[in-house]
Amino acid sequence: MKTWMMMAILSLGASALAERSTINFNEDWRFARFGAMPDGSERAEPEGLESASLDDSQWRSLNVPHDWGIEGPFRDDLPNRTGKLPWAGIGWYRKTVDAPVSDAGKKIFIDFDGAMSDSKVWLNGEYVGEWPYGYSSFRLDLSNHWKPGEKNTIAVRLDNKPESSRWYPGGGIYRNVRLVKTEPVHVDHWGIFVTTPDVSKKEATISIKTEVAGADDHTIILQEIVEAGVQGEGAHLQIKVANPKLWSLESPTLYTLKTTVKQNGIVVDVVETSFGIRTIEYTSEGFFLNGKKVRMNGVCQHHDLGPLGSAINTRAIERQIEILQEMGVNAIRTAHNPPAPELLDLCDRMGILVQVEAFDCWEKSKAPNDYARHFPEWHEKDLRAMIKRDRNHASVVMWSTGNETREMKKKEDAPVSQMLTDIAKSEDSTRPITYGCNAPNAGWNGFQKTTDLFGYNYKPHLYQKFRNVNPMQPFYGSETASTVSSRGEYFFPVSDEKHLGQGGDFQVSSYDLTAPPWANNPDIEFAAQDKYPWVFGEFVWTGFDYIGEPTPYNQDKTNLLNFSDPAERKRMEEELERLGGNIPPRSSYFGIVDLCGFKKDRFYIYQARWRPELPMAHILPHWNWPERIGEVTPVHVYTSGDEAELFLNGKSLGRKRKGEFEYRLRWDDVVYEPGEVKVVAYKDGKIWAEDLQKTTGNSAKLELVADRSEIAADGQDLSFITVRVVDAEGLVVPRSHNSVQFKIEGPGEIIAVGNGDPTSHESFHALERRVFNGLALVVVRSVKGESGSVVVKADSDGLAAGEIEIEVK
């Protein structure tokens, strides 16, 4: 009987489609929290939560990606630097599925794109593996304990230690999960490596290496480049593509490699890999993509998605990139950890260069419970995982082994860096290795020689000195600016002194002149980039605001690590001391764009520089200052033109021209009177662009504007709705802070609200929100499989209501 059953199963397996199946494993998990609870209490973690027989029916039911921290509440007693949100603690996820009988004889894997953090995984009560680093993607082999024809229960335990990060890490299974079923002979995990060693207009050589698990003499590997219709056979081979369409920023063409594995003549596995054909080269003169010099106009980005937290959503990342591209961004540094794979897919498709970074610390910690705990045992596995996962992305143009690690200042620190470089190169020799360096002397003490590309964080004054010592080494600003501002806040008198903590209510003025002591305003970095054309670009800290690290109101003592100058360090220490206690800020002020994706003024100084062909001008501040009549109220203008004339209520306040190394036009002695301030910008003597700011009337109504009025009924797609408080004429009232209530009807749900105020403790999960300086955000998600019209209504006391309709298809 037993033998017969086995045979039946085997023959079923062989006659059924023998290719791999990749199953989305995101839905219907059960979830419970233990240890530190969101309300500050402690809940004991019982034994045996991994047991197959545990009754978890009372646990909360949810889908992943899920971030348990973003649900809040914001708590005064929690640290500012990690967002004042309850992400620390223990979380268990359990999911039970029926396995078909046809699983017999198959390999069963579970793939996590990321689980925050210290994950441990069981199947049917049996321990199957772990992966501590919350930013790594990993695969576990479930085959030994998988029960075909029965129920199978997967249990995942995550444990977020407090003080394990310098920013908000989030918590939970916050990226996608898949179940992968293959035949015993199959393409190994991340087993394909496509490179393009020779590329010309006429022909490209595509080199393909494939690792197949379980392969023997009867295994055949076939490769096909689908769009080009060319094929080959073998585990290591080269295929030629005639007249290749190159991957470039303007036209990011992608090709598909179809890998087919046959065993004894039967197809057992088919895998598709997307790749691009392009060349990259770094010289002492710059970066070259397909032979063309490209200056990297980059931003650093943390991984959270503002009010959505760290739970990844492809549309939310795509929206971020769209906004960044509108500004002229062509490069992203994934500070300071491996990103969600969807980010790289989007960058491939949208034409963005990426620096993928591995670590924020090595052996020496920056926070008591950070990755330094795991570095000795895990650095190699994590670094290899990062590179193997991401090495086929055309967008990825360099690997970073770390950021401002504490090993850097001394000569003796170089070997750790060299060891990581060697590991990275052993996985991928086609891309250079870099590192974000903030110790001046690491540019000449030997440390610099451990990486191919050298990047300074915040050291424009040292670029030439570095060059004098290392004339041939490609060089860039790995982290720049760190200017701070709150959208729509302006403080007077305006001062060029980049002091900390100015202004009331824990906001920072948006004249874009304020930066912490180690940092600069954008203009200073621009000047260095222009003075030294061999600098291949910059990565501004940061593109978007992120949760945590609300410098200059950060209680984060690790801020002090950023100081090389003892006097500056002492000044910062005193400032933090002075600010002590429970201060409200919980998200950054560094973003060029705020936490909701609303542009701050700074957006336009970058756009003016990075998109010189786009006619644009931007005036700041807004022009609603009833208390400043007769007072000096400086007006600054960002423009891609070279000259501009300012008018106040029709009267010219003079025409100004940008000087050498000048990036903003300033009328610092304007005396405020209500009305209209208008700029006319010129380029080469011709009118180029205009902008104006008008004193508005009182708040009259709510206006709702969606980024997309049609979304897919896939339960994932999002519409980002901007809520504006406007006057009778439709002008946004810049200092309005009205509280707004929302209602939704139809097949959609409001999954988050926000307003970009870094000090607000209002929940992101609510049906109401105060606008911050005129704006708030509502994020609507479709319901899977349900189409129709979604109507969002907004109400606020004393204002005419607003409404918008979104089609879900």
Residues of this chain that interact with ligand GAL (CB under 6 A) are 403-404, 438, 457, 479, 482, 516, 519, 541, 549, 551, 562
Strand partners, 247: 252
Would you say 521 or 562 has its CB closer to ligand GAL? 562
| 314-327 helix and 341-350 helix, angle to the nearest 10 degrees | 40
Active site residue 479: yes
Would you say 510 or 639 has its CB closer to ligand GAL? 510
Detail the DSSP E strand segments found in 125-228.
Answer: 126-131, 138-141, 151-160, 177-182, 186-199, 203-213, 219-225
Strand partners, 181: 21, 108
Task: State the nearest-atom distance from the C-beta of 354 to ligand GAL, in Å.
Answer: 17
DSSP letter for 509, please. -
Would you say 66 or 81 has its CB closer to ligand GAL? 81
Task: State the nearest-atom distance from the C-beta of 588 to ligand GAL, in Å.
Answer: 8
> In what helix (H) or strand (E) does residue 349 lie, and over which residues does it extend?
helix 341-350
Would you say 282 or 541 has its CB closer to ligand GAL? 541
**Residue the block writes with tokens 């000795």:** 376
Q: Identify the active-site residue in 50, 183, 357, 479.
A: 479
Please, are residues 137 and 113 in contact by the beta-carbon 8 Å criterion?
Answer: yes
Task: State the nearest-atom distance from the C-beta of 612 to ligand GAL, in Å.
Answer: 27
Strand partners, 523: none
Task: State the nearest-atom distance from the C-beta of 366 to ligand GAL, in Å.
Answer: 9
Would you say 501 or 675 has its CB closer to ligand GAL? 501
Would you say 313 or 438 has its CB closer to ligand GAL? 438
**Residue the block writes with tokens 């003490």:** 445
Name the residue with the smallest CB distance to ligand GAL.
482
Of the candidates 285, 283, 403, the residue with the CA atom closest to the CA atom of residue 338:
403
Would you say 271 or 540 has its CB closer to ligand GAL? 540
**Euclidean distance between CA atoms 430 and 440, whole angstroms:** 28
Would you say 480 or 719 has its CB closer to ligand GAL? 480
Task: State the nearest-atom distance from the C-beta of 400 to ligand GAL, in Å.
Answer: 11
Active site residue 404: yes
Of the candidates 463, 457, 459, the residue with the CA atom closest to the CA atom of residue 542:
457
Task: State the nearest-atom distance from the C-beta of 436 to ligand GAL, in Å.
Answer: 6
Please, are residues 178 and 188 in contact by the beta-carbon 8 Å criterion?
Answer: no
Would you say 195 or 502 has its CB closer to ligand GAL? 502
* Helices within 551-648 (DSSP H only): 566-579, 602-610
**Euclidean distance between CA atoms 206 and 225, whole angstroms:** 9
How many CA within 13 A on the CB side of residue 171?
31
Euclidean distance between the first and the last CA atom of the chain, given in angstroms as a whole number: 52
Task: State the nearest-atom distance from the C-beta of 570 to ligand GAL, in Å.
Answer: 18
DSSP letter for 121, please. E
Task: State the nearest-atom distance from the C-beta of 541 to ligand GAL, in Å.
Answer: 5
DSSP letter for 588, please. -
Please, are residues 257 and 248 in contact by the beta-carbon 8 Å criterion?
Answer: no
Helix, strand, coil shares, percent, the chain, to 5 = 20, 35, 45
Q: Is the peptide bond before 65 cis (omega within 30 degrees of 0)?
A: yes
Phi, psi at 97, each rounded to 5°: -130, 155
Please, are residues 36 and 86 in contact by the beta-carbon 8 Å criterion?
Answer: yes
Q: Quick one: tokens of 486?
A: 């709150």
Task: State the nearest-atom distance from the C-beta of 167 to ligand GAL, in Å.
Answer: 7
Please, are residues 559 and 568 in contact by the beta-carbon 8 Å criterion?
Answer: no
Task: State the nearest-atom distance from the C-beta of 435 to ligand GAL, in Å.
Answer: 11
Q: Identify the active-site residue in 50, 71, 357, 404.
A: 404
Detail the DSSP E strand segments found in 70-150.
Answer: 89-98, 107-112, 119-123, 126-131, 138-141
Would you say 116 or 179 has its CB closer to ligand GAL? 116
Q: Quick one: tokens of 652?
A: 């010219």
Q: Give the residue numbers marked as catalytic.
A: 404, 479
